[in-house]
Amino acid sequence: MELNRRSFLAGGTLFAAGALAGGAQAEASAPRKVSPYHARGEETFTPKPVARGVRRVVAEPVLQCPAPDSMGVAWAVSGFANGAVEFADNPQLQNATTVRCGGFGMTAFDDQALQVRLVGLRPGTRYWYRTITTPIADYKNSYSIRMGEPEVGDVHSFVTPGENVTARFCVMNDTHENWKQFGPIVEKILAIKPTVIVWNGDATNTTEEKARAVETFLNPPVARKDYAADIPILFTNGNHDYRGKWIRHLDEVMMPRLPSERSSRDWDLTRNFAIRLGDVAMVGLDTGEDKPDWHPKWMGMANFSPYRKAQTVWLKETLARPEIDGAPYIVVFCHIPLFDSYPEANPGDRLENWADWQKECADLWGPLFAEHGVQVVIAAHMHRYRFDPATADRPWAQIVGGGPGKNPWNFPTVIEGEIVGGELRLTCHNVLTGKVAGRHAFKPRFRFLGLA
């Protein structure tokens, strides 16, 4: 049965493609089994062994929230465990620093997902890391805990964003837990080898429990469970990433941006990002739900309009930041398109439909894009690849990614961005056919052409 947008989203069936992980192999010179607690200044701790077969790690780690001076690491586990990450600026992990789950005080443990934030990093620098997972084999109370043998993960690496790194990124969107197509999408991304991945919303359908989110983001049923072990994810919420009673706790699986990235006024804007990747400034915005706040379906619980206005204040200041304003290219990422050639596709005060584009966001953010020379917005939501060239009234172009279907108009895409010959080139790959659906090139911003 063909999956159009609405009938697909109404169903809850998952497409499974169960396969064993093809995790990346650690370099031969890297150490394999050591105590996880050997960071400088710490005593070595050897937990008591337990019966064989007590294992916790079920997938390779997923890098999240890349920033010039920090990186998030999360990984799925099958039962209660405590965790840590060792990292260093060399593949042998010599003089490695160990960071434990949960930070200071009593460290964290969980039965589904572990998270560690690495801070104090240098921009544009490659680091090597691995996870250390210690099963909690038996827990009676705070003074009666039996630990299992630490599980030492493979060595992976990442590059922190910065002006000196390769400006190469990939965008995937509207994956909607469709594993038959998610597998080829990540295979394509791994073949391209970008510096970062933008997951541009609607990773989920409706999330009623944590296990569903852990599967979606940390342990997808595809062969390449290492899809984000070496390439960090910049995540933008889609409208479906707000649906379900558990989704309000998504930070337990997909980490929020650090408060240090913004002023205290904007601490609640935990999904907005603005980083430099070589000559490209990448800005992430959250368009929220596809119906107005007053829509009866939300039962008075939606509060997206104030959220969009708060992001506007952040955006105005962000686009003026020296590292963003000084970039030859500015690319904005958001889930719901900010333009449609058919204005009535935004329902306004009509109740029977959902919005094809976000007029409120376009009205708030569009003038700032024009003022600061944003060249292109990369959006999603429509499950149909589309290119909207810039016009005199709207001096920024828009590319809309495809969807989880399997026909000539609804097909999964990977949008690849890179600098070639002094131009930003965006290539939209049709993952279904293996062909290119479209190519688009952008010159440096007006001020870099001597027109400012």
Compute the distance between CA of residue 245 and CA of residue 283 in angstroms, rounded to an integer. 29
Cβ atoms 334, 286 nearer than 8 A: yes
Cβ atoms 283, 315 nearer than 8 A: yes
Measured CA to CA in angstroms, residue 267 lies from 97, 232, 257, 287 at distances of 28, 22, 9, 17
Compute the distance between CA of residue 170 and CA of residue 198 in angstroms, rounded to an integer. 6
pLDDT of residue 278 exceeding 80: yes
Kindly write down the DSSP assignment for every residue of 122-181, as one continuous string. PTT-EEEEEEEEEEEEEEEETTEEEE-PPEEPPPEEEE--BTTS--EEEEE---TTBHHH
Q: For the chain, where do the domains classified as CATH 3.60.21.10 start and end?
A: 5-17+161-449
Compute the distance between CA of residue 283 and CA of residue 236 in angstroms, rounded to an integer. 10
When mean pLDDT is compared across 141-155, 275-289, 345-359, the lowest value belongs to 345-359
Please give the CATH number for the structural domain made up of 5-17+161-449: 3.60.21.10
Report the sign of the C-alpha dihedral through residues 62, 64, 68, 69, in that order: negative
Write down the pLDDT at residue 103.
84
Average pLDDT of the chain is 88
- List pLDDT tens digits, range 361-393: 999 999 999 999 999 999 999 999 999 999 999
User: Beta-strand (E) ranges in 278-328?
Assistant: 280-284
Token pair of 301 as six digits = 């619980």
pLDDT of residue 19 exceeding 50: no
Kindly write down the DSSP assignment for every residue of 390-444, as one continuous string. --SSS-SEEEE---S--SSSS--EEEEEEEETTEEEEEEEETTTTEEEEEEEEPP
Write down the pLDDT at residue 312.
98
By CB neighbour count within 10 A (0-12 exposed, 13-18 middle, 19+ buried), where does 340 fall? buried
- List pLDDT tens digits, range 295-339: 999 999 999 999 999 999 999 999 999 999 999 999 999 999 999
Q: At what angle do helices 304-319 and 359-372 cross, to 10 degrees?
A: 0
Overall average pLDDT of the 114-121 stretch: 98
Please give the backbone phi and psi of residue 444, each rounded to the nearest 5 degrees, phi first.
-60, 160
